[in-house]
Homo-oligomer: A and B are copies of this chain.
Amino acid sequence: MIELSKSPKFIQNVLFENEHFEIVKCEWDQDSCSALHGHGPSQCSVLIEEGIFENKTVMGFKTEIEIHKAGEVFTTPLGAEHEIRCVSAKGKTLHVYSPKITKEIATEDPHFKLDSKDQDSLDLSLGESMSWTQVQKLLNQIEKASVTTRSPYFMNQLFSGIHPQTLAAESVMNRTRTTLATNEASPVYSKVEAEVIKMLAKKLGWNPRTSEGLTVAGGSAANMMAIHCARQKLHPETKTLGNQSQKYRIYVSDQAHYSFLKSANALGLGTNSIVSISSDENGRMIPRNLRHQIGNDLQLKLQPLMIAATAGTTVAGAFDPIDELAVVAQDFKIWLHIDAAWGAPAYFSKTKSYLVKGSDQADSLTFDAHKFFGSQLTSTLFITPHQSVLFEANDVKGGEYLFHESEELDRGRISWQCGRGPDVLSFWTLWKNLGDQGLQKSIDEKFELVQKTVQLIHNSDRLKLISNPEFLNICFQVLPPKGSMQDPKSWSVKVREKLILNQQVMVNYSHNENEGYFIRMILAHPQIDVQHVHKIISQILEVD
């Protein structure tokens, strides 16, 4: 028996224990309480043998409290944290963990760099068979050697952390493995996809009944689909004849994602068709410059195809002025696309919806649920208010062996993919649990954290803000310790490398001509709070 707290008491007795499962019996005094804890990759089930208990579950942004009595069982979803309190005079519980909790994973010690020891011990070679017991051990090693993206100290990408709800959904998805190509193979998931598209259209101010959409393989694929749809609308004969002599032009800000270049290349337009419009000091495309460029291009007999506004740039998190770009788009009758891969949470916000004003005028949008909303990577939606454009742009002959229903039902007809998993279930499950209000709260809480973080940066004379954050990206430069001979323009990169090597924090970095290198910190993790930021900033300043 291990006594875990003195007064009120909480005693723990391990009945069985092995690497695969563990059964623990606990005895509780009134008001005794466990710490808030997670179980790593274990499923945890608690049976109340005697007494009444309060179980608080923290799942990403969301906290749920439930009361349980003797005879009841409650479980904690994979990846969630919980806290148990005995609210009766005495209590007895039985806990089952399967597989047994691996302490190192449960405590979520961050691991940001594959060291040579890890690397040498991982036998990834194929050819000879290996017993399942050995393969399971190897998978466990792979898990431990992987970058802990679920840690609040992982701020390297435009995603961080995992919502336990999405893990539960992914598990169902994996066990029901199917394809979204046809309604008969995925009658439920096709409806789930349609519901997410409808509700996103509503948020954008589009008609949810006539808007259309599709899960695609990431934000880059959605941007590529947008260009393809714009081309279809302008020159439908391209579908059979290919690009003719048109010299298309696609206008993006100089801060836009590189996928526009990749897309123009793939679609046979050439990267020269991407015209980079300069942005202001906050990284927002300058509408005046856009208008001027289009005017010039028209004189040169070039063919404007699309204006692509970025809602949330990768480095600064800037939002192009969509409403102003919409006026230009209307004046010249050009397709307006919004790359909201990163910035889409603004559509769910109460305080920052002004960032995406004018979106109701847009012709298409890219939405990555795997970024801020921490869903399965990837869970991207391409949506458009133009009801038939995806069908017109993508349906071809030759699928008769597969498609026996209409294109509204057989979604493969409007896609470039044939087999395609129901990745959208992950985000749907999160939304279902949190509701609009929960999603709103999750993003608006982060905006408050951004303000506190900016204050912390201002408080240090060795940290220099690079741009005023509009979103969840905090770009700042770290100056070398006083008296150091290090170059201030590159010190941030050295700090970053050191923090990664020490397995402390993983932030990313970028560069601009005036300032040199700086750190980009992303506040996306569902549980990150000001204490984490405090600790990170201390660690950044400690590097010498």
Question: Given A47-B21, A398-B258, are A437 and B129 also a contact pair (CB < 8 Å)?
Answer: yes
Given A218-B420, A368-B419, is A188 in contact with B378 using a C-beta cutoff of 8 Å?
Answer: no
Say if the beta carbon of A41 comes within 8 Å of chain B.
yes
Cβ of A1 under 8 Å from chain B: no
Residue from B75, B127, B133 within 8 A of A435 (CB atoms): B127
Q: Are B139 and A156 in contact (CB under 8 A)?
A: no
The 7 A-B pairs with the shortest beta carbon distances in the complex, nearest first, are A268-B268, A129-B435, A242-B270, A258-B398, A217-B217, A114-B187, A18-B73
Q: Which stretch, A146-154, A449-457, A458-466, touches the partner chain B?
A: A146-154
Q: What 1/0 mask marks residues of chain A from 474 to 518 whose CB sits below 8 Å from any chain B CB?
A: 000000000000000000000000001000000010110000000
A178 CA to B506 CA, complexed, in Å: 13
Chain B positions within 8 Å of A310 at CB level: none
Query: How far is it, in angstroms, between the C-alpha of A261 and the C-alpha of B395 when the chains are bound?
Result: 9
Residue pair B416, A224 in contact (C-beta under 8 Å):
yes
A396 partner, pick from B136, B191, B265, beta carbons under 8 A: B265
Q: How large is the interface on A (under 10, 10 to 19, 20 to 34, 35 or more residues)?
A: 35 or more
Confirm or deny: A325 has a beta carbon within 8 angstroms of a beta carbon on chain B: no
- A432 interfacial contact with B, CB 8 Å: yes
| Interface assignment of A70: CB less than 8 Å from any CB of chain B | no
Q: Do B258 and A399 touch across chains, with their CB atoms under 8 A apart?
A: yes
Interface membership of A88, Cβ < 8 A: no
CB contact list, A357-411 vs B, under 8 A: 368, 370-371, 374, 376-378, 393-394, 396-402
With contacts A18-B73, A262-B394 taken as known, whether A99 is within 8 angstroms of B269 at the C-beta atoms is no
Q: In the complex, are the beta carbons of B401 and A510 less than 8 A apart?
A: yes
Task: Report the stretch among A27-35, A167-175, A283-291, A530-538 that lies at the interface.
Answer: A167-175
CA distance A416 to B260 in the complex (A): 10
Interface membership of A142, Cβ < 8 A: yes
CB <8 Å contact, B218 and A417: yes
Given A186-B147, A218-B420, A368-B419, A43 and B174 contact (CB-CB distance below 8 Å): no
The verdict on A302 contacting chain B, using a C-beta distance below 8 Å, is no
Query: Whole-angstrom distance from the CB of A28 to the nearest CB of chain B?
Result: 18
Bound complex: CA A143 to CA B188 (Å)? 9
Of listed A157, A256, A264, residue having the most chain B CB within 10 A = A157
